[in-house]
Structure 1
């Protein structure tokens, strides 16, 4: 196994910035683009369905692409696949400006995501390569602090660009960010994978490694409990706009501020978690956070069922989202730590599982029309209940096995 050399000071800060940007580049491509949907529809003189298909194609590629880059980064190293992915992202972003056909645009959005997703899957693998479990948890938390700012600020930034320029300016901005990230990876990132000369790509071997990772019940427990907990947040993101603006009668400006406050709760707790893991066990922090989130969502449902009150509803939403600042980095670290030798593959499964489940929940919110406090609260509570059930079931099983063996 590769001996880990401590990374301190400015080198550590520089690494976190690079990894945070790697993790943020693909989400930025969606969040900055959202305010431009109607402009794109008018520009291409097309239907709303085809315009929204440019989002769907991005999400599909973003989810599936991680399964490609993970194993490739285990075989060829982290740096080369990352550079290839960002280069593909850059070319696709620039090409989006040049085309005048909606179908070509949809295809380019697919390739844009296929390139951009390299960053997020490889960034997790690099952290797992370079840091022991306690420090890795802190690094993941700090990365999330940086990368969480992207979805918070990018829709506003995208809207500002649209006030002065056409929607094409968003893709020019993404192209420039791609260049910056490409240069940062090229000159500021060292290879972290423990490569051997004998390693060559084999489809059969790749499937075997996927099989090994997927058979690990502890690993699956971490990623499923995290994915279910994060699904509650995606349910909130999808359904909260209607609930707060239509039911609680908030203006769009006040809702945007409220959304930012709730996102800040996540960022704040992720930052606190980075300090806590240096003193306390990640498992213990995770256990308390999952239970706290369940209690918050349970009270949220009961309060919505009895008498929906805006202030109580918002406080409980804030606590629920903030709890993820402890859940997300700890589950990521604990899951990834089980596979130091194939970090890329483990990262790919983790990312795809979380994104696919969260995407399904978002779709389900739309299907059942979760536009009332009670339905939204119930869905969030169910997601967090299942997250707790998955996590504590395996903990109970391990406890009973230990007792029997002793």
Structure 2
């Protein structure tokens, strides 16, 4: 049991836990700059390549709904080893096939594996540290996690240029392999006491939360806020390479810049948590709509990379502000069942994101800057409507209490 391990060993395990956190972002984003070349090499449409990301997100989201309870009943160590092993094998198998169907199946497997890794890694801190140390370490989770979405496409662009799209998945296999070897030789079980899996209790908790209108509206807002970012992730590479005629390296730089915009939005949102609804929520969504409308108008006269990326940068900052604001309030809505609420919220956010990504994929090829802008606008308008509905629901609840 690692709780009784030496301080030096626990410190090493803590460091490696933080090293493993960005892996989920790498699995999601590292091959984004390779979308156009994958479509050409496999002789398939943009939609087919985009669906490989959608299937991963859907699997990742659904798996998080069930993984927590399973890990509490059987432990963290062996499931984590199995998840890393599956990630290694699936990444290698993806490089050996040109079948989109098989790649989607393997991405579904990767989504489930990464959900185990994320939930198990988060739980390790709770297992081996006291509450004050846990709060200290968990406060760094979002910052460390964001390194994945920021750095992954940047690295993927260079791997694509120097080698080919297969190199992205070889990198994932190497990353997972390194973590697997560390876990095998240095880590161990951290769960002090296994709990009996109570499915009926979990189902009743989920049912109670799903019936809560404000909680569910918050999850919808989180999913749509992240979906705005995903619009660029699945369509931007095709515009940059096929329309603007830049290389995958440039795609990597663009996603690196937009990754920072999401992080900046998160920091701004955190500083504005004490503000009222109008300043904290309404101002960012209205600013986002103004920016999107300006991008649509500008696209009627000029379309180029140096117009699209600055607009996207500030649009994504607004989404980061909204996401951080509603993430905090949603997490605190069920304080007595924060773990279950967090799992449900995290899972459904990715399910919503995967569904919007799928809808974006099947609405036709996005070949121009204005196509991207109109998709931004549709999601932002839906987001505004849900925010206004939620504001009314909150007012009604306060009046009744």
> Is the structural similarity TM-score above 0.5?
yes
Give the corresponding residue for 1:69: 67
Q: How do 1:9-28 and structure 2 match up within 5 A?
A: 18=17, 21-22=20-21, 24-28=22-26
How has the CA–CA distance of structure 1 residues 117 and 216 changed in structure 2, closer, same or farther, with 3 Å as cutoff?
Answer: same
Give the corresponding residue for 1:7: none
Deviation at 1:381, TM superposition (A): 1.3
Give the corresponding residue for 1:324: 319
Q: Please, what is the CA RMSD of the aligned residues?
A: 4.6
Give the corresponding residue for 2:378: 382
Give the corresponding residue for 2:360: 365
Aligned to 1:307, the other structure's residue is in SS state coil
Q: Is residue 144–residue 270 contact of structure 1 (8 Å, CA) maintained in 2?
A: no
Deviation at 1:326, TM superposition (A): 2.0
How has the CA–CA distance of structure 1 residues 89 and 109 changed in structure 2, closer, same or farther, with 3 Å as cutoff?
Answer: farther
Per-residue deviation, residues 205-250 of structure 1 (Å, max 9, x unmatched): 2211111221222221221111112112211222223334455x35
Give the corresponding residue for 2:6: none
Give the corresponding residue for 1:173: 174
How has the CA–CA distance of structure 1 residues 61 and 243 changed in structure 2, closer, same or farther, with 3 Å as cutoff?
Answer: closer
Deviation at 1:330, TM superposition (A): 2.8
Q: Is residue 258–residue 316 contact of structure 2 (8 Å, CA) maintained in 1?
A: yes
Give the corresponding residue for 1:95: 89
After TM superposition, the score normalised by the length of structure 1 is 0.72
| Corresponding residue to 2:201 among 178, 188, 205 | 205
Deviation at 1:156, TM superposition (A): 3.7
Deviation at 1:28, TM superposition (A): 1.9
| Corresponding residue to 1:116 among 107, 114, 134 | 114
Aligned-partner Cα distance in 1 for 2:161–2:301 = 39
Give the corresponding residue for 1:8: none
Q: Is residue 58–residue 350 contact of structure 2 (8 Å, CA) maintained in 1?
A: no
| Corresponding residue to 1:307 among 301, 306, 326 | 301
Structure 1: gaps spanning 5 or more residues: 1-10
Aligned-partner Cα distance in 1 for 2:230–2:250 = 20
Per-residue deviation, residues 134-164 of structure 1 (Å, max 9, x unmatched): 999965642453343343334146448847x
Aligned-partner Cα distance in 1 for 2:399–2:387 = 19
Per-residue deviation, residues 259-305 of structure 1 (Å, max 9, x unmatched): 3222222223334545x25x84496534433333233223323433x
Q: Is residue 234–residue 358 contact of structure 1 (8 Å, CA) maintained in 2?
A: yes
Q: Is residue 228–residue 379 contact of structure 2 (8 Å, CA) maintained in 1?
A: yes
Give the corresponding residue for 2:213: 217
Aligned-partner Cα distance in 1 for 2:292–2:169 = 41
How has the CA–CA distance of structure 1 residues 293 and 138 changed in structure 2, closer, same or farther, with 3 Å as cutoff?
Answer: farther
Q: How do 1:4-403 and structure 2 match up within 5 A?
A: 18=17, 21-22=20-21, 24-32=22-30, 58-73=56-71, 75-76=72-73, 80-81=75-76, 83-96=77-90, 97=92, 109-121=107-119, 139=140, 141-156=142-157, 158-159=159-160, 162=163, 169-179=170-180, 182=183, 186=187, 200-247=196-243, 249-252=244-247, 253-274=249-270, 276=271, 280-281=274-275, 285-304=280-299, 306-310=300-304, 311-369=306-364, 370-399=366-395, 402=398
How has the CA–CA distance of structure 1 residues 178 and 212 changed in structure 2, closer, same or farther, with 3 Å as cutoff?
Answer: farther
Aligned-partner Cα distance in 1 for 2:208–2:160 = 45
Aligned-partner Cα distance in 2 for 1:140–1:218 = 26
Structure 2: gaps spanning 5 or more residues: 1-9
Aligned-partner Cα distance in 1 for 2:315–2:326 = 16
Deviation at 1:173, TM superposition (A): 0.7
Aligned-partner Cα distance in 2 for 1:385–1:115 = 34
After TM superposition, the score normalised by the length of structure 2 is 0.73
Aligned to 2:196, the other structure's residue is in SS state coil
Number of aligned positions between the proteins: 377
How has the CA–CA distance of structure 1 residues 330 and 137 changed in structure 2, closer, same or farther, with 3 Å as cutoff?
Answer: farther
